[in-house]
Amino acid sequence: MTLTDNPLLQGSEMPDFTAIRPEHVKPAIDALLAEAEAALERAVGPDVPADHDTLTLVLDVPVERLRRTWSHVNHLQAVADTPALRAAHAEALPRFTDFTTRLGADARLYAKYKAVAASPAAAEMKPAQRKALSDTLRDFVLGGADLQGAQRARYAAIQERCSALSKAFGDHVLDATDAFKLDVDEALLEGVPDDVRQAARDAAATAGVPGCRLTLQAPCYIPLMQYAGNRILREQLYRAYSTRASDIGPAELDNTELMRELLELRAEEAALLGHPSFAHLALVPKMAGTPDEVLAFVRDLARRARPAAERELAELREYASSELGLPDMQAWDRHFVAEKLKQARYDFSSQEVKRYFTEPAVLQGLFGLVETLFEVAIRPEAAPVWHESVRFFRVWRGSTPVAAFYLDPYARAGKQSGAWMDDSRARWRRPEGHLQLPVAHLICNYAPPVGGQPALLTHDDVITLFHEFGHGLHHMLTQVDELGVSGISGVEWDAVELPSQFMENFCWEWEVLQDLTRHVETGQALPRELFERMVAARHFGTGLHLLRQCEFSLFDMRLHSEAAAAGRLRLVCDEVNAELQPMRAPDFLRYPHSFGHLFDGGYAAGYYGYAWAEVLSADAYSAFEEAGIFDAATGRRFREHVLEVGGSRPAIESFRAFRGREPELEALLRHQGLT
């Protein structure tokens, strides 16, 4: 095998996915890493002037090729995993990560980009180029490139220690979750669905014990809390779950000290970089301006959700007391009571709904909607794919191709669960001259067709498909030519869910659902009466849910913005609960100790982003509600002002350009049934 016939090394074209084998990974990544390393050395040297176009040609071309090729490997490992591919991926991963980390913190390269920004030619740059350059410089600064001497060393030490602490935090949660086992007689599992019981019986049999084995893993814990009629059992599980990795439990798995140290180190990191708190630092690349702005946003949202939450809580208490013999509803009863009330009130079977969402109708309806709103055509095309069920489509505007995407719809072995959109290739006016068009991966995991019938989607599957398609549109319809800010690149992290959550709204429109449904046997569209019940159930419990999101967001933002919060984490947690919730949490609750988003993920001082983006998407969608949801002029404005501009300007400017005003909360509250 030579490098020239390695299918991963195909220039800027999409690879032949049928031909890629695990043994292609190492030689391809090795060759591209060597090329990129050499390019970096050349780019920072005296022969390359501080000039945008030259730097792009010398450095961006090989680095883009490396990243794009690595994304193909990553992608295949996620959708068509085999032990050999996993091993090849794991072998190359540390070298890829090491290079990209060094690239992002190289002081010589930072100096070169600063010289580009200071050169007279910078004044002539197009706005998108200027935005990409300023993002690049900002990321160098956030990566500590401005620090010198002892401060630089300290910054690096903090990074290293924080990643070790985060890893340990996650390991403790995992170990504490796995350590819990409760063996019970099946008679105690009254109300629990058959498949969950079966899994518990199997777990007991595997362990060689009689009865059923219960765990804190989600597929066991969640249905137990929803359906188990035995209250003592629910309490026992709830206590175990909500005290994982805390001071109430084995000392070796207690995250208390880890959290304190992490918070202190984050505050120190922020101080080194000249910010008053970690929250201030974390907000630099985001749409939200200051911690105070976020705090005010969260408190305002909570205030508006509160009346509905109180009403919902009163309903749950009333139902618990009058129908379920639970006059003193506790935290461990809430999901159980909610499930019972929901069944009683909105009785419909998701199985029944599913028979209307046949895959060909859903895809035809989705594509038709997108074609109408955004003036494109979506046509299938033959292409080499990694599994026979994967389809390839090209997106056209008139007779001009603008993008392409792969749709990998079904769950199967060797494919990760969940759904996502991945950037396989980005739009880029390449320095060699030609325009590279964007390619997206749209990955879902709904059930494959059985018995000669088309695949059937649940309504949730349909919403997920629309969500990912929204990300895909953002990636594919971009008209930006600059690599770093085309499509979703360079979009603020708390605004990137705007197009995706926006698309979800269409799944609740009667007219859209008429085009999206065709009953698997009768061929009929969704009946109005069933639709009405789905809509009614949609708003069940939204007040309490939103308030919970606000509680997490407020806790997160206070923890990362207040001096000395590290030493009073429990107090902050209690204060936030008392401030926002109509029903106080039990004293033993220790949710922060297993809150991976904040301590083992990218959401520190960022949890508010979920609600933040939802306000934007709901408000953007309300423009369609006002003009008519199929209004072509509104669709064109959304395409031009939001989808096409990607990260080439701040998200708030795109929003204002589309909506003609600042974002407002009302649409979100209305969509959630809270007004």
Looking at the DSSP bridge assignments, the partners of residue 397 are 400
Q: Token pair of 89, please?
A: 């991926």
Closest-CB residue for Zn ion?
500
Cβ atoms 507, 461 nearer than 8 A = no
Measure the CA–CA gap between 154 and 162, rounded to whole angstroms. Answer: 12
# binding residues, Zn ion (CB under 5 A): 1
Which lies closer to Zn ion via its Cβ, residue 230 or residue 500? Answer: 500
Nearer to Zn ion, 335 or 475 (CB): 475
Alpha carbon 319 to chain centroid distance? 35
Which x/- pattern, by CB under 5 A, does the window 85-124 give for Zn ion?
A: ----------------------------------------
Interface of this chain with Zn ion, residues 218 to 247, rule: CB under 5 A: none
Q: Kindly give the pairing relationship between strand 391-397 and strand 377-381.
A: antiparallel
Picking from 437, 440, 543, 428, the residue whose alpha carbon sits closest to that of residue 486 is: 428
Smallest distance from Zn ion to CB 467, Å? 6
DSSP 379-440: EEE----SSTT-EEEEEEETTEEEEEEEEEEE--TTS-SS-EEEEEE--EE-TTSPEEPPEE
Q: Given 3-state DSSP classes, what are the helix, strand and coil percentages for the chain, each rounded to the nearest 5?
A: 60, 5, 30
Active site residue 252: no
Residue closer to Zn ion by CB (options 196, 440) is 440
Query: Please, what is the minimum distance in Å from the beta carbon of residue 416 to Zn ion?
Result: 15
Window 605-664: residues binding Zn ion (CB under 5 A): none
* The pair of three-digit structure tokens given for residue 562, joined into one six-digit string: 């207040």
- Give me the least distance between CB of 493 and Zn ion, in Å please: 11
Select 359 or 497, whichever has its Cβ closest to Zn ion: 497
Burial per residue of 383-417, b for 16 or more beta-carbon CB atoms within 10 angstroms, e otherwise = bebbeeebbbbbbbeeeeebbbbbbbbbeeeebee
Binding mask 499-528 for Zn ion (x = CB under 5 A): -x----------------------------
Instruction: Report, in Å, the least distance between residue 490 CB and Zn ion.
Output: 17
Spatial distance between the Cα atoms of 655 and 537, rounded to a whole number of angstroms:
31
Q: Which is nearer to Zn ion, 373 or 488 (CB)?
A: 488
**Nearest approach, Cβ of residue 79 and Zn ion (Å):** 18
Q: 461 to 500, contacts with Zn ion by CB under 5 A?
A: 500
Q: What is the dihedral of CA 522, 527, 529, 535, to 10 degrees?
A: 120
- If DSSP codes are grouped into helix, strand and coil, which group holds residue 456? strand
Residue type for position 481: D
Residue 500 Cβ, how far from Zn ion at the closest point, in Å?
4
Residues in the chain: 675
- List the catalytic residue out of 468, 492, 504, 644: 468
List Cβ<8 Å contacts ≥24 apart for 328-331.
330/235, 330/586, 331/238, 331/242, 331/583, 331/585, 331/586, 331/589
Q: Closest approach of Cβ 245 to Zn ion, in Å?
A: 28
Residue 172 or 441: the one with the smaller Cβ distance to Zn ion is: 441
Q: Give, as ranges, the residues between 400 and 429 that touch Zn ion (CB under 5 A).
A: none
Measured from the CB atom, is 243 or 500 closer to Zn ion? 500
Minimum CB–partner distance for residue 503 and Zn ion (Å): 10
Nearer CB in complex with Zn ion: 106/614: 614
Rounded Cα distance between 545 and 449, Å, is 34
User: Which residues of the chain form contacts with Zn ion (CB under 5 A)?
Assistant: 500
Active site residues: 468
